[in-house]
């Protein structure tokens, strides 16, 4: 183990160079408007997502239509900022973190409302919030500490499941299904008319409301998303422990070399 530790520690992907924090702050302060990362198009889309999400939360307790429309637009814009970043050559670490933090905060705020709407399920919603934040934080940190350019770049030898999950199409479907499930739970408190009356449907599904049907369809996707969160948390924990072990082994070797 100890003989391989230095190699493990020094192996870095051709990705990022270490920048001093003071240098980074000075660069961000002195940046010109031709290269202002804060004003990159994908980041502007990210800011608009925050505004839309805030408006959605404002209407959440008393106007479900406005809330749902604004929330859905905010979530849909999540699919466009990545495309804009690649098309315009404006990918940035700030944008990646802004995107992830916006996703986590928006979903958590909706889950907080669901906690009050379904108090008997409060513990479950609190668990989902905790799992979502912890898994993504630890995954992001483990990605940075191992030199990855993006937390969405996962090698198959680390986790084949996470590699498949972070495929752009798979990621969109799973995240959309997850959000739609929570939105359906929200709308269940407001929509009580069966589809036989609201849409004139007939058949075995006609007695359900459309949020109920949406919840049944998207529930398995939500379960898959949270299973992936568990895997992501476990894999990130193992990576961080592996880095700890390698660093400790390297420190012991250096101490032995000093004493010889």
Pair (38, 126) in one structural domain: no
Pair (224, 134) in one structural domain: yes
d(CA 60, CA 70): 10
Across the chain, which has 260 residues, the per-10-residue mean pLDDT values are 46 54 79 79 96 97 96 93 89 91 96 97 97 96 87 90 94 96 97 91 91 97 98 96 93 87
Q: In the prediction, which pLDDT does 19 show?
A: 67
14 within domain boundaries: no
Q: Which domain holds residue 79?
A: 28-117
63 within domain boundaries: yes
Q: In the prediction, which pLDDT does 17 show?
A: 56
Pair (177, 90) in one structural domain: no
Active site residues: 103
d(CA 151, CA 179): 21
83 within domain boundaries: yes
d(CA 176, CA 123): 23
Pair (90, 132) in one structural domain: no
60 within domain boundaries: yes
35 within domain boundaries: yes
Pair (166, 92) in one structural domain: no
Pair (193, 169) in one structural domain: yes
Asked whether the beta carbons of 212 and 204 are under 8 A apart, the reply is no
178 within domain boundaries: yes
Number of domains in the chain: 2
Pair (128, 200) in one structural domain: yes
Pair (53, 104) in one structural domain: yes
Q: In the prediction, which pLDDT does 150 show?
A: 83
Pair (131, 241) in one structural domain: yes
Pair (237, 137) in one structural domain: yes
Pair (113, 126) in one structural domain: no
CB half-sphere exposure, 132, CA atoms < 13 A: 25
Pair (90, 204) in one structural domain: no
- Residue for token pair 């004139």: 200
Pick from 97, 117, 137: which residue ends a domain? 117
């Amino acid at each position: 183990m100890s003989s391989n530790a230095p190699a493990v520690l020094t192996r870095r992907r051709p990705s990022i160079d270490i920048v001093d924090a003071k240098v980074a702050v000075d660069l961000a302060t002195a940046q010109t408007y031709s290269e202002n990362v804060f004003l990159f198009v994908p980041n502007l889309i990210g800011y608009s997502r925050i505004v839309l999400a805030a408006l959605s939360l404002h209407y959440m307790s008393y106007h479900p239509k406005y809330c749902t429309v604004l929330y859905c637009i905010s979530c849909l814009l999540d699919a466009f900022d990545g495309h804009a970043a690649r098309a315009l050559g404006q990918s940035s670490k700030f944008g990646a973190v802004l995107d992830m933090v916006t996703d986590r905060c928006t979903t958590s705020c909706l889950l907080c409302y669901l906690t009050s709407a379904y108090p008997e399920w409060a513990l479950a919603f609190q668990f989902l919030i905790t799992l979502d934040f912890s898994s993504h934080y630890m995954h992001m940190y483990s990605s940075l500490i191992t030199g990855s350019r993006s937390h969405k770049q996962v090698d198959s030898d680390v986790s084949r499941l996470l590699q498949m999950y972070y495929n752009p199409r798979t990621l969109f479907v799973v995240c959309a299904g997850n959000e739609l499930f929570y939105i359906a739970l929200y709308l269940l408190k407001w929509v009580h008319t069966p589809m036989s009356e609201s849409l004139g449907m007939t058949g075995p599904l006609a007695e359900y409301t459309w949020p109920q049907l949406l919840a049944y369809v998207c529930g398995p996707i939500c379960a898959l998303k949270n299973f992936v969160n568990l895997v992501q948390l476990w894999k990130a924990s193992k990576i961080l422990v592996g880095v700890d072990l390698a660093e400790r082994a390297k420190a012991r070797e250096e101490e032995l070399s000093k004493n010889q």
